[in-house]
Amino acid sequence: MNRSDLARMDATAQAGLIASGQSSASELVEAAIERIEGVNPEINAVVTELFDHARAEAASSALPDGPFRGVPLLLKDLGCHVAGIPVYGGTRFLRDRAWVAPTDSVLAKRFRAAGFIFVGKTNTPELGLSPTTEPDTFGPTRNPWNPDRIVGGSSGGSAAAVAAGLTPLAHAGDGGGSIRNPAGACGLVGLKPSRGRTSLGPGKGEGWAGCVTEHVVTRSVRDAAAVLDCVAGPAPGDPYHAPPPARPFAEELGRAPGRLRIGQFIHNEFTPAHPESVQAVQATAALLGELGHHVDETYPEALDESHLGEWTSTAVSASVAHEISQMEASVGERAKEGDFEPATLAMADHGRALSAAEYVANLDELHAYGRRLRSWWAEEPGADGYDILITPTMAEPAPPIGSIKGAEIDCIIRLVPYTMPYNVSGQPAIGLPLHWSEDGLPVGIQLVSRYGEEGLLIRLASQLEAALPWHERIPPIHA
């Protein structure tokens, strides 16, 4: 197998090479290492190399015989702890102390059982707090479509690596858009599962007041579905879990979605949209109409409310304060000047100033908002209400590096207003690369379904993938 061909293959295709005997795990891993060494200096996506670890696993007779046996996977340097592997979370505090995870997370165990081999860790903004991946600790990750542009955040390193062909997919986490926004900026598929679909255990029951979930960024809808089959499901002690699917998610591929009732949200007084984002939504709406769906301009009234940013900022600030305390306890040292970025410390200070009663009151506001938002969707197929909402992933194509980091919070919120509501409501959402700007930048589209209905998203996404395939689009920086 030509190694340049591997760079264009999704994970399902690479797994097929091993299953058919055309390649070995060691060959796939060596090819991935070669691609990382060759391309990563241009984009700064991989910040921790796990090459020796990967080679040993690939050569082991104990490699699990899962559906992705031998396929190389990059892990985001935030979440998904692997015993003995460094975790820095984009911080100097943990990097300078060379901290390693003491135990495997549930997700890491499930990735390993699926047969994936971990080849490295990817760049992320400090503690995942920014929509641009430019941490002081490791510097900016550059977009393979234009190295002067951002890759989104917080799974920006993962998205850049997959877009550039370093690995066929990569682990990602999403607390406010951190799977979907980088996928949109880098021309990938980014499926955020429903709340409770994947476990954060055993270290956490929930993250950011229930907003955080983990999965992968991929090139194809089939990879997103197949990996979800491998990692979905509750673990003992999880505080909640999503309803079981009607069938394996991979079986939704190519299945007719039926005639869906679809609304669209582009902008209101709080969320100005770039003309390219407007065009992307309108073009997607027109395509869905051609495919036989009912599409109009209706959207949930809750999106016109103005306090969501305040409520989510309060919840995240409390979480950041707790995370820093946990890190200090784990290494046995207090943070000193320079260990964290000023914006991170400001959030932690805000969190420490909250009383317990204020935190609970804020949580009640978030839960109430989520109920108001979800009421727009039909509770079940065929009931009154809508099935799908279309939005952009980001308000504009990826802006220049340096234009977002350190900007006022209002500027940051204006870039990514479309994704956070569905972290609060717990609904599944998927980002798809259905549009490119005039200067060649991807402009992502988001589809949102009712809670627990990843299957419907996968059916519709695979229909769109067949109607408007994106797989032949390769960025200028590519392995």
Which sequence positions are flagged as catalytic?
76, 154, 178
User: What letters, b where the CB count within 10 A reaches 16 and e where it falls short, cover 197-225?
Assistant: bbbbbbeeebbbbbbbbbbbbbbbbbbbb
Contacts of 337 (CB under 8 A, 6+ apart): none
Chain centroid, CA 255 distance in Å: 25
| 455 CB-side CA count, 13 A | 17
- Tokens read off for 19: 């299953």
Contact 56, 76 (CB under 8 A): no
Contact 380, 246 (CB under 8 A): no
Question: CA triplet 313, 316, 322: central angle to 5 degrees?
Answer: 140
Q: What is the Cα–Cα distance from 174 to 178, expressed in whole angstroms?
A: 4
Q: How many other C-beta atoms are found inside a 10 Å radius of the C-beta of residue 71? A: 30
Q: Please give the single-letter amino acid code of residue 360.
A: V
| Sign of the four-CA dihedral 88, 94, 95, 100 | negative
Beta bridge partners of 49: 120
Task: Kindly report the backbone phi and psi dihedral angles of residue 26, in degrees, each rounded to the nearest multiple of 5, phi listed first.
Answer: -65, -40
Closest-CA residue to 415 (of 208, 217, 277): 277
